[in-house]
DNA sequence: ACCTATCGGAGCGGAGCACTCCGCTCAAAA
DNA sequence: TTTTGAGCGGAGTGCTCCGCTCCGATAGGT
């Protein structure tokens, strides 16, 4: 986001800024499509810059991925806050959040903070995860308070549900997003508080944030 | 399945049969975990056999994968027929089928006929796909006829929905299955015919079987 | 005891990747 | 205009990993 006041940089520095933005977007897309196995050269190619420029900004692939997953978590936080701020109804806010998150994924963000439990947790990652937890808790607590969200669905379910709704399929672009939203529609119906007639608890035990942490980060070395 | 009357083969042939079964199971598990990128050597290792024996049965990785995806489709067919035969209620049959399919995936089958649109369609694959279509049509038509399944959900939605419910997550075994079943519970609620008050059509256009075929098979060479 | 079908796994060849290195570009200084 | 050097692009390098082959070891049948 606005880490530089992009004001009066000129010439080559201007080009550097453009490169940075393109690089960021390309990395989002390519990692979203190929996961950790995305070739760095493909990112450079799609960004229209050279390998040298890429490696000047990010000295290793690992650093690039760490930056991306932090950005992904921060975007989820922003989307949660926006939904909460702009939708007065708690249920509408929840729906809005899921739709925004999925649509963004469709246009190619690795919004899923999972790069597969392959990378160690840095302080930045843990901080972002903590903010994500807070933002999702706000969404979920609001809906629970209003009684519209089933009680056995927790904030830690959200990242897992998003993961389930955005599998890697050999389709990209708008059609992929449409399919993701299609099955989100099904899941949303299941999120409403069920009629008292049928208790129908969800399968399994509710996930905890500690479980997500273990799942997102590599076991410490 | 019972392709050989496993009767009176002895000695080395007996070992060969054991190897075949172990190989099959190991391949299911490893492909389920790693997809196409699963190393063949890992399959041999987990089956407890040598590379030589593996390659005598399947002269190439591609043939092995083709066999696996056909087996995956045939198993779905069997599960659909079992559900239909054993559950008189159409809704119960549908639920039974989804649960069986997901549980089997958890114990490690590449039941998803997608290996990623990487392989050409053989006659066998097309035949299996046709049988799968017929079996799923029977399930879906029954539920539609009874009015319990929302009208805009089609049989071609099922493979895609299963794919959405079984993403690759860095968790395996029972916990993975439990999570898949957990979010299946949400989707099932969305599959019921909605109250007439809210039309609430699903997002996107319903998938067609032709779309699945294009998605499962590599573009012809 | 011999034969041979079958087994296991070390090793080969090549593909692909992260990363480096260096010649070039071009805006700005002189 | 000439000089300069920060910043650029991408070919090349070294390495890892994987599909597949080859052949010596193994053991059931006779």
Cβ pair B76, B132 in contact under 8 A: yes
Between chains, do A202 and B189 touch, taking CB under 8 Å as contact? Answer: no
Instruction: Answer whether residue A16 shows pLDDT above 70.
Output: no
DSSP string for B80-111: HHHHHHH--SHHHHHHHHHHHHHHHHHTT---
User: Mean pLDDT across the stretch A163-187?
Assistant: 93
* Nearest of A164, A166, A162, A159 to residue A215 by alpha carbon: A159
Q: Domain spans of chain B?
A: 1-59, 66-216
Residue A92 forms contact with B (CB below 8 Å) = no
Mean pLDDT of B45-60: 95
Question: For helices B157-165 and A174-191, what crossing angle results, to 10°?
Answer: 70
Mean pLDDT of A135-142: 98
What distance in Å separates the CA atoms of residue B145 and residue A98, rounded to the nearest whole number? 32
A170 Cβ under 8 Å from any chain B Cβ: yes
Tokens of A181: 């939203």
The mean pLDDT of A184-193, rounded to a whole number, is: 96
Nearest CB among B167, B178, B215 relative to A203 is that of B178
Give pLDDT, residue A7: 46
Distance of CA B11 to the CA centre of its chain: 34
User: How crowded is residue B25: how many other Cβ atoms within 10 Å of its Cβ?
Assistant: 16
Residue A122 near residue A68 (C-beta atoms within 8 A): no
pLDDT of B136 higher than 90: yes
| CA separation for the pair A64, A36 (Å, rounded) | 11
Using a CB-CB cut-off of 8 Å, the residues of chain B touching A151 are none
Nearest residue to nucleotide D17 when comparing alpha carbons to its C1'?
B39
Q: Which residues of A touch B191 (CB under 8 A)?
A: 186
- Nearest-by-Cβ selection for A164 from B160, B165, B192: B165
Total CB pairs under 8 A between chain A and B: 106
CB A40 under 7 Å to nucleic chain C: yes
Average pLDDT of chain B? 89
- Residue B5's pLDDT is 41
Q: Which of residues 3-62 of B touch strand C (CB under 7 A)?
A: 12-13, 15-16, 19, 41, 48-53, 55-56
Question: Among A99, A189, A93, which residue's Cα sits nearest to residue A143?
Answer: A93
pLDDT over 50 at B6, yes or no? no
The nucleotide closest to B61 (CA, C1' atoms): D19
Distance (Å) from CA A14 to C1' C29? 18
Query: For position A111, what pLDDT does the model report?
Result: 56
pLDDT at A140 over 60: yes
Q: Kindly tell me if the per-residue pLDDT of B54 is higher than 70.
A: yes
Question: Which of the four pLDDT bands, split at 50, 70 and 90, describes residue B200?
Answer: confident
By residue count, chain A amounts to 221
Cα distance between residue A7 and residue A17, in whole Å = 11
| The pLDDT value given to residue A112 | 65
Lowest mean pLDDT among A112-116, A123-127, B23-27, B119-123: A112-116
Phi, psi of B149 (to 5 degrees): -105, 130
Overall average pLDDT of the A45-59 stretch: 96
**What secondary structure letter does DSSP report for A120?**
P
In the CATH hierarchy, which fold is given to the domain comprising A66-216? Tetracycline Repressor; domain 2 (1.10.357)
Task: Give the CA-trace dihedral at B83, A207, A214, B183, to 10 degrees.
Answer: 30
Nucleotides of D under 7 A from a protein CB: 6-12, 17-23, 27-29
Contact B69, B59 (CB under 8 A): no
Average pLDDT over residues A175-200: 92
The conformational region for residue A161 under phi > 0 = left, psi -120 to 50 = alpha, else beta, is: alpha
Q: Return the DSSP state at A61.
A: H
Name the more confident of A20 and A162. Answer: A162
Residue B2 confidence (pLDDT) above 60: no
Q: Is 60 exceeded by the pLDDT of residue A32?
A: yes
pTM above the 0.85 mark?
Answer: yes
Nearest to B161 among A117, A183, A191 (CB): A183
- Detail the protein residues whose CB sits closer than 7 A to any atom belonging to strand D: A 12-13, 15-16, 19, 41, 48-53, 55-56; B 10-13, 37-41, 51-52, 55, 59-62
Quick one: average pLDDT of A7-19?
63
**CA B142/CA B150 separation, integer angstroms:** 12
Most distant CA pair in chain B, distance: 69
- State the sign of the Cα–Cα–Cα–Cα dihedral B42, B48, B52, B55: negative
How far, in Å, CA of A179 to CA of B127, rounded?
26
pLDDT at position A173 is 86
pLDDT in tens, B138-184: 999 999 999 999 999 999 999 999 999 998 888 888 999 999 999 99
pLDDT value for A20: 87
**Looking at the predicted structure, is the pLDDT value of residue A133 above 60?**
yes
Task: Say if residue B109's pLDDT is above 60.
Answer: no
Tell me what pLDDT residue B19 has.
Answer: 74
How many other C-beta atoms are found inside a 10 Å radius of the C-beta of residue B44?
A: 22
The angle subtended at Cα B84 by Cα A195 and Cα B192, nearest 5°, is 25
Which of A119, A157, A167 is the best substitution to test chain B (most B C-beta atoms within 10 A)?
A167
Q: Report the pLDDT averaged over residues A2-17.
A: 54
For the segment B73-93, the average pLDDT, to the nearest whole number, is 97
Average pLDDT of chain A to the nearest whole number: 89
Measure CA of the first residue to CA of the last residue in chain A; give whole Å: 31
Fold of domain B1-59: Arc Repressor Mutant, subunit A (1.10.10)
pLDDT at A169: 86
Q: How far from the centroid of its chain's Cα atoms is residue A192's Cα?
A: 23
């Amino acid at each position: 986001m606005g880490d530089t006041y992009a004001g009066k940089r000129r010439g080559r520095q201007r080009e550097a800024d453009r490169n940075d933005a393109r690089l960021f977007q390309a990395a989002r897309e390519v990692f979203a499509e190929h996961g950790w196995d995305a070739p760095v050269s493909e990112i450079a190619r799609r960004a229209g810059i050279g390998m040298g420029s890429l490696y000047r900004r990010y000295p290793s692939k690992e650093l690039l991925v760490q930056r991306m997953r932090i950005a992904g978590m921060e975007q989820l936080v922003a989307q949660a806050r926006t939904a909460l701020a702009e939708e007065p109804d708690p249920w509408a806010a929840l729906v809005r959040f899921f739709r925004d998150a999925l649509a963004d994924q469709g246009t190619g963000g690795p919004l899923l903070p999972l790069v597969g439990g392959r990378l160690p947790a840095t302080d930045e990652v843990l901080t972002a995860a903590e903010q994500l937890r807070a933002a999702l808790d706000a969404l979920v607590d609001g809906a629970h308070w209003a009684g519209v969200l089933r009680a056995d669905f927790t904030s830690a379910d959200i990242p897992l549900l998003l993961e389930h709704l955005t599998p890697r399929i050999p389709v990209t672009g708008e059609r992929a997003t449409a399919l993701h939203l299609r099955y989100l529609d099904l899941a949303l119906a299941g999120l409403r508080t069920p009629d008292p007639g049928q208790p129908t608890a969800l399968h399994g035990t509710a996930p905890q944030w500690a479980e997500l942490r273990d799942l997102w980060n590599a076991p410490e070395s």
